[in-house]
Each structure stands twice: as C-alpha cells, then as structure tokens.
Amino acid sequence: MGPTSHRTSAPSEVEAWRREAQGALNVRDFRRAHVLCTQILQRDAAHADAMFMLGMIAVEHGNFGKAVEVIRRAIELDGGRPEYHAQLGRCLIALHQHQEALLAAQGGLALDPVDALTLDTLGVVMVRAGMHAEAVDPFQRAVNRDAGKASYHYNHGAALQIVGDFPAAQAALRRALAIEPDHYRAWSSLAQVSRGALRAEDVAHVQSLLKRLPAAASADDAQLHLHHALAKYFEDVGEYSKSFQSLLSGKVRKRAGLDYSRAIDQSLFAAVREVCAPSFLTSTSSGSESSEPIFIVGMPRTGTTLVERILSSHSDVYSAGELTNFALAIKRATRSPSNLVLDVPTLRASHSLDWRAIGDSYLASTRPRTGHTRHFIDKMPLNFLYAGFIRRALPNAKIVCVRRDPLDTCLSNYRQLFATHFPYYNYAYDLLDTGRYYVQFDALARYWRDTLGDHYCEVRYEDVVNDTEVQARRLVDFCGLTWDAACLNFHENAAPVATASSVQVRQPIYKTSMARWRHYEQELAPLRALLEEAGIALAPRSS
C-alpha cells in the first residue's frame, strides 16, 4: 500500500520500525501502524515515509482532509516521491478539488514514476480530473510494468474506450478477464464497448458466474453489472424479452438494498421551484458577465452527448465534459452541513447568495482546462435542476435542454448502468420510479422554457437525427457562433467521450435508437399507463 523507503541514512532501529509500520499498514492494522509512525516521528521529525503512512491511515478512515494535510507535509519533507503526489491527487479528487488534484498528478508524472501502482493511481486521478487522453499513457506504463494485475488492464481498457480506440479497449478488457475471469466490471464494459463484443462462450461464463454469486448484499453490484452485460448481448442479437428480463433481474436486487425514496426526488424538484420563483429569476442583481459557458442539460441518455459533439466540433468551442463544478460552487457558498452536494437544505440556502461570486467561482474552477477557446461546454445532465441558478450566476451563458420521446427517455435511463455510488440516478433501478422522475423533469423543463428567456433553448433528439444540418445550424446560431461545417462531421471529432455514448457518437447519424421502446412495448405497458395518467403525450401503440 505504501512506499518502499529510500532513506539510507536512517538509524537501523528507525528503519525496523518503518518496515514494521509498513507491514501493519498492509494488513490493515492501523492502530499498530499509527503507533509505530508516531514513534518514528518522535525520533526523526523529518521522516517523510512515516508522515506519508499517517496520511494513508487517514485515507483508510475516509478522512481525506486530514490526509491531504499530512501528505502535503510528507511532500515538503521529500518532494521527489511520485507515490506521494499520486495519493495526494487521489485525496483531492475525493474532496472534489479537481484543479489541485490535476496539479498533483502532473507533479507525480513529472517525476517519471516506474512503480505500477503509482502509475495506475496517477492515471485514475487524471481520469477523475477530466484529462482522459492524458491518462492513457500512465495506464499503459502500469500494465507494461505489471501485466499480471487485472485492475490495471481494466483501467487501461476504460481509458482507451473513452478516447475511441475500441479494438484496443476490447483487447485490454479481454486481458483483464484472462487474469480474473470473474471481473464483473470488465464484463459489463466489454459488452458496451461495441456491438457484438460478447461471444456465446462469454454469455455462458457470465450466466455461470451469476449462479455462483452469494446472496449477500456485497454481491449486489456484481450481479447488476453481469445482468447488464447479458441485457446488452440479448439486445444485440434481437432477443428483447430476454434483454428486459436481464435488466429486471439485475435491478430488483440492487433496488431493494438502496435507501431510496421517490419522495426525496419530489422534494428536490419542489425546492428548485420554490427558490426559482419568477421574482428570483427576474432579479436585477447581476451575475458574472462571462458568456463562455454553454450548458447542455436534460435527462441522461437523451442525446446530450450527440448535441455536445456537434457543438464541440466548432473551432470556437471546447468540451469540458460532465462537470460537477456548478453544483459544488453553490454547495461551498451555502456551507450547508450535509455531505450531499444536492439536497433540499442546500437549494433553499442558495436563495440569497452572491451570484456574481458564484459565477466567477464556477469559471475559475474550470481552469486550466477551459479558457483557451471562446466557449466551453459543460454537459452535466443534472444541471437541468440548476438552470434557474445558472441564469442568475451566468446570465450570458447559453443553456441547451435536450428532449427525447418520453418512452425512449425512460427506457434508456432504465437500460443504463449508472455509477453505483452516485445517488442522484437511483430512480433508474425501477421502471416506474423512472417514469415518475420523468414526469417531474418534464414539468420543470416546461417551466424553464417559459421563464428563462432567450438564453434557454430546447432541442429534440429526434429532430437532430432526422434533420441534422437544420438543427446544427439552429444550435450554432443560438450560441452566437458563425457556421462551421465541421459540426456536421461530429463523428470525426477525436476528443475523448467519457459517457455511455462513447461508441455511438463516433458514428455518423443513425436512426436505430429512435422508437427503441417498440421492441419492449409489452414490458413498458405499466410505464405507458403511468405517463398517460400524468398527461404526458405519447406516440401511439403499435398496430
């Protein structure tokens, strides 16, 4: 877990304590490790390894703020250790301090690390900081140094998928599975990396693995990933009923173990409407004057990445990816006590913030990745909840809300394997919960359309697919840009894509995802009834 000491001048007794502390840390005997590190520092206050190990103990206890403080002290004592910088970056990511984490990772890479774990950690930090293309090299070097670790190949494969090298991504994921055939995340990633990636023998292995999984809650994520892999395979071969059943089997067990209540989502939507009353939206208090940001929002899996790729193919536009920066700027300014970035107390406390300061803080937090083009795109779908707040903080920013057929929207969210540690998409573990969430989203989107004025624009996914040039020109014009023909060749855009659409948006426009719900019409009947009861207009049933 920790480093191997380079301190040749340490007394033999101190070195013995260091080795014992390292051993205790490796077997998670944190109490013993802490005692020994303290003992070392009493003898030698400048012992960087002991200080670093204290930082790692703090990491293991989830105290990342303390860990940052201690690891920075270790770096002051010995700044030439790449693993110190790597772990500092890891802690800063946990604290949502992405700028600082990126600097830490760059500092570690500049020291030319050779340890595989350090290289892999640096790659992970780069990915979390949004530097996906830059992460490929440390991941490649990690597998070169230690080809026997499945997790290194998995991380390498995920990075290759993001940058669009799908054959290499498949090969890396296959190498991970050759080492660890039960690596469930590798199975779900392999299924998604391209059409037909799974073979019949793969399906047999995944089905066998599911039968061997224990009933304990610790296996919930494994069965979720494996069932999603099967669902993708069955859809690829046209067995839609089996695909839906696989989704249902994977999600029911995970949903049962979640502390999720649809009332929580209802309260969030209500709080947004409560704070963003018309009087709030039309307030004369000024926000940041910048027109740099273009926010692309909407329900996930509705074409937001497609719209992003069209606009970011313009020479004056850079895509910064899905940023949490705006939500974090509000959270930090309100100083609300919860450990959730988005919750009702935080939303309500935001009513009287200094919105110019919020806008300026948001912009500063996106640097240095942004600022080198006239505009940048922030494609965080959840920012649809913040559209009114964005209007106050950045009144010159553009907001594009992407809409899609309601049934396709709900189905695509239900089909998606969202990050299991991200609670804001927990509605997607149940089809009807997804429908209820959509009803609330639809009402809020209509409210924004009616109140946010000419800096807010809706675009329909189906319109983009059916008449790409007309919609692309409309979007470019809305953003105040001159026409750039590259916007029609978005599939040639080489920039990384860190979303579930990473494969699809590297192809020319295709229509096979439109009206996908018709493949699952029987299974979606309860969803249709729920949406119709809520007054949502739907396409007619198949004849």
What is the tens place of the pLDDT at every residue in 26-60? 999 999 999 999 999 999 999 999 999 999 999 99
Whether residue 386 is contained in a domain is answered as yes
Q: State the residue for tokens 């750039």.
A: 484
Is residue 29 exposed (0-12), middle (13-18) or buried (19+ Cβ within 10 Å)? middle
pLDDT > 90? residue 194: no
Rounded Cα distance between 401 and 308, Å, is 11
Rounded Cα distance between 353 and 360, Å, is 13
Q: What is the DSSP letter of 5?
A: P
Radius of gyration (C-alpha) of the chain in whole angstroms: 25
Please tell me the predicted confidence (pLDDT) of residue 7. 47
CB 251 within 8 A of CB 411: no
Q: Which of 67-71, 146-150, 335-339 shows the lowest mean pLDDT across its residues?
A: 335-339
Q: Which of 122, 133, 42 is nearest to 81 (CA)?
A: 122
pLDDT band at 513 (very low <50, low <70, confident <90, very high): confident
Whether residue 195 is contained in a domain is answered as no
Q: State both tokens at 481.
A: 């840009």
Q: Give helix 116-128 / helix 98-110 axis angle, nearest 10°.
A: 150
494 CB contacts (<8 Å, ≥6 apart)? 163, 164
Please tell me the predicted confidence (pLDDT) of residue 8. 43
- What proportion of the chain, given as a percentage, has pLDDT over 90? 83
Q: What is the DSSP letter of 492?
A: G
Whether residue 521 is contained in a domain is answered as no
* 3-class DSSP assignment, residue 216: coil
Q: Which of 347, 437, 431, 428 is nearest to 392 (CA)?
A: 347
Please tell me the predicted confidence (pLDDT) of residue 494. 60
Burial code (b: 16+ CB inside 10 Å, e: under 16) for 60-73 equals eeeebebbbebbbe
Q: State both tokens at 34.
A: 């802490």
Whether residue 12 is contained in a domain is answered as no
Mean pLDDT of 48-76: 97
Whether residue 412 is contained in a domain is answered as yes
Rounded Cα distance between 48 and 10, Å, is 11
Q: State both tokens at 105.
A: 């990772």
CB 25 within 8 A of CB 57: yes
pLDDT band at 426 (very low <50, low <70, confident <90, very high): very high
CB 91 within 8 A of CB 71: yes
Residues 81-123 pLDDT 10s: 999 999 999 999 999 999 999 999 999 999 999 999 999 999 9
Whether residue 427 is contained in a domain is answered as yes
Domain count for the chain, please give it: 1
- The answer for 62, left when phi > 0, alpha when psi is -120 to 50, beta otherwise, is left
**CATH number for the domain that contains residue 364:** 3.40.50.300
Whether residue 476 is contained in a domain is answered as yes
Is residue 4 exposed (0-12), middle (13-18) or buried (19+ Cβ within 10 Å)? exposed
Average pLDDT over the chain, rounded to an integer:
92
State the residue range of the domain holding 504. 263-509
Q: How far is CA 112 from CA 108, 116, 123, 294, 475, in A?
A: 7, 12, 13, 37, 44
Rounded Cα distance between 149 and 143, Å, is 8
Whether residue 387 is contained in a domain is answered as yes
Residues 348-357 pLDDT 10s: 999 889 999 9
